[in-house]
Amino acid sequence: MQEKGNKYGTHRVIEPKGVLPQPANKLDNNMDKIWDNEILIDVQTLNIDSASFTQIKQQAGGDKAKIAEIMLGIVEKQGKHRNPVTGSGGMLLGTVEKIGDALKDKTDLKVGDKIATLVSLSLTPLRIDKIKEIRPDVDQVDIDGKAILFESGIYAKIPQDMPEGLVLSALDVAGAPAQTARLVKPGDTVLIIGAGGKSGMLCSYEAKKRAGVTGTVIGLCHSEKSANRLKELGFCDHVFRADATQPVQVLETIEKLTNGKMADVTINNVNIPDTEMTSILCTKDSGVVYFFSMSTSFTKAALGAEGVGSDVTMIVGNGYTKGHAEITLALLRESEKLRKVFTELYA
C-alpha cells in the first residue's frame, strides 16, 4: 500500500523540515516509489526559465558540456532544478508513467498521456539520468529522467493540433499574456519591455487586442533581430531598441512617444536584472507595472519607486493565472502570424 502524501508535497522535503518544496534546500527525488497522491512522469524535455538559462549560459561561457555539468550539479544537490542564483526553475514535458492510488479517481489523466507541467521546476522533484541535447537558443534541454507532480500541481495535456516544442515554449510563459488580458483596458497606453521575446510577443498581441484602436502599444527590444521581428508582426504601434537597464534614456523615448503622459500599464518580460526603475519611471502615477520577469528584485522595485516618488501599483508576476494555458494556446490558434513565428523559433 502506498504511503499517504501531503497535498503540497511537504513529504518530499528533506531540509529544512516544515517548509514547502519551492523554498526547500533539498527534496527527495527517489523515484523507485511514489506516494499515494503523486504522479510519476517520464521526462522528455526541460524548458528552463529564461532568466535561469541565461545565467547558466553566462556561467558556462556558452559551452554545452559546462551547461550540462551545471544543471546536473543543481539537481544532484537539491533534488530539483532551482537555479541558486536566480531562484527560478522552468517547466517540463513528459509522459505519465504512474498515478498514485488516491488520485486515480480524481484526475482526468491516464498512464501514457503526454503533459506539460505548469508548476515550476524549482519545486518539482527531478532526477536526471542523462542529458541528451541542449538547445540554448530556445532554453530547452532533452533528457532521460523522472519527475513528480504533486496533488496540487497543475498541468496541460499536449493538444494534437500543435507540435510539442511549440506548446512547451508557449505554456512556459502562459501567465504573462493571461495577466495582460486582465490588466489592459480599451484606450490604454501599454509599454512592453522585452517585447520581442517569447512572452513579449504574446503580450504584445494580447495588449493590442485589449487596448483596441484607441489604445497604443509600445514595444521595447534589445536586439535588432527581435525589433525587426516585432515590427513585421505588426502588434505594436511603436517599436524601438534600447537598453532596459538605462532608465533615463528609455524614459526620454517614452515621454516623446506618449507626449509626456507615460504608460497606463507596463509589462516587464526581460530576463536580466536591473530593469525595475525603467519600468517604474515609464509608468504614470496611477498606472500598473507587471513584473513577469524572474530577474526582478522586489527590494529594488519597492525602494526605487519610493525614491522617485512614484505611486505606481506593482504586481509580481505569478506564473499561474486561472485559464492561462487555454488563453495562451488560443492566441496561437487565433493569430497565424504569431503561430508562424513561434513554430519557426521553438517547434
Residue with grid cell 523559433, as numbered in its chain:
345
pLDDT value, residue 319: 79
pLDDT value, residue 288: 98
Burial of 110 by CB count in 10 Å (0-12 exposed, 13-18 middle, 19+ buried)? exposed
**Three-state secondary structure call for residue 333:** helix
pLDDT tens digit sequence for 1-26: 789 999 999 999 999 999 999 999 99
| Backbone angles phi and psi of 47, in degrees to 5 | -105, 100
Name the packing angle between helices 198-211 and 175-183 (round to 10°): 20
Strands 216-221 and 140-149: unpaired
All three cell numbers of 311, joined, read 505611486
DSSP H or E segment with residue 42? strand 39-48
CA distance 57 to 224: 21
pLDDT value, residue 46: 97
CA distance 179 to 288: 12
Residue 260: count of CB within 10 angstroms of its CB? 9
CA distance 271 to 273: 7
CA distance 176 to 196: 14
Going from the N-terminus, what domains does the chain have, and what CATH number goes with each?
A: 10-158 (no CATH), 175-346 (3.40.50.720)
Burial of 320 by CB count in 10 Å (0-12 exposed, 13-18 middle, 19+ buried)? middle
DSSP H or E segment with residue 206? helix 198-211
For the chain, which residues score pLDDT lower than 70?
none
